[in-house]
Amino acid sequence: MITALCLAAILLIALSAQVFPSFLTRLGGSSGQQGLLLFSMFFFYPFSSVLAGAVADRAGKRRVLAVGMACVGLPFALSALFPSLAARTAAVLLFGLGEGVVESQASALLADTSPSRERSVMNWSQFMYSAGAAGGPFLIALLFTLRSGITVTGVLWACAAAGLLLAALFPLAKGGGFSTARKSPPPAVPATPGLRALLRTPGLLLLASAIFLYVAAEMGTASWLAKYGELHLGLSAELAPICLTVFWGGLSASRIAAGLLSARVSDAALLYGSLLLALAGQLFTFSVRAPFAALIGLGLTGMGMGAIWPTLVALAGARYRQSSGLAIGILTGSGGVAVALIQLAIGYLSQPRLLGLRLTLLALAAFTASNLLIVRRALRPRPAPTRCTASATGSEAGRGQSAK
CATH code, 275: 1.20.1250.20
Q: Are 27 and 161 in the same domain?
A: yes
Q: Are 114 and 207 in the same domain?
A: no
Q: Are 263 and 322 in the same domain?
A: yes
Q: Are 135 and 278 in the same domain?
A: no
Res. 149 pLDDT band, cuts 50 70 90? low
Residue 264 lies in a domain: yes
The residue among 142, 174, 206 that closes a domain is: 174
Q: Which positions ≥6 away from 286 have C-beta within 8 Å?
A: 294, 297, 358, 359, 361, 362, 365
Q: Which positions ≥6 away from 384 have C-beta within 8 Å?
A: none
Q: What sign does the dihedral 342-39-134-144 (CA atoms) show? A: negative
CA-to-CA dists, residue 306 to 29, 126, 128, 205, 268, angstroms = 36, 8, 12, 22, 15
Q: Which positions ≥6 away from 225 have C-beta within 8 Å?
A: 240, 243, 244, 247, 298
Range of the structural domain that residue 342 is part of = 192-379
**Mean pLDDT computed over 195-202:** 68
What does the mean pLDDT of the chain come to? 76
Q: Within 13 Å, how many C-alpha atoms sit on residue 256's CB side?
A: 8
Question: Residue 337: its pLDDT value, please?
Answer: 85
Number of domains in the chain: 2
For residue 46, pLDDT over 70 is answered with: yes
> Which range in 72-81, 117-126, 137-146, 180-189 is most confidently predicted, on average pLDDT?
72-81
Rounded to an integer, what distance in angstroms lies between the CA atom of residue 104 and that of residue 107? 5
Comparison of pLDDT for 120 and 311, the residue scoring more? 311
Rounded to an integer, what distance in angstroms lies between the CA atom of residue 253 and that of residue 239? 22
**Mean pLDDT computed over 55-61:** 78
Q: Are 148 and 297 in the same domain?
A: no
Q: What is the dihedral of CA 362, 286, 13, 119, to 10 degrees?
A: -80
Question: Residue 300: its pLDDT value, please?
Answer: 94
Rounded to an integer, what distance in angstroms lies between the CA atom of residue 189 and that of residue 262? 22
> Three-class SS of residue 363?
helix
Residue 62 sits at the vertex; the CA angle it makes with 43 and 157, to the nearest 5 degrees, is 60
Question: Residue 305: its pLDDT value, please?
Answer: 92
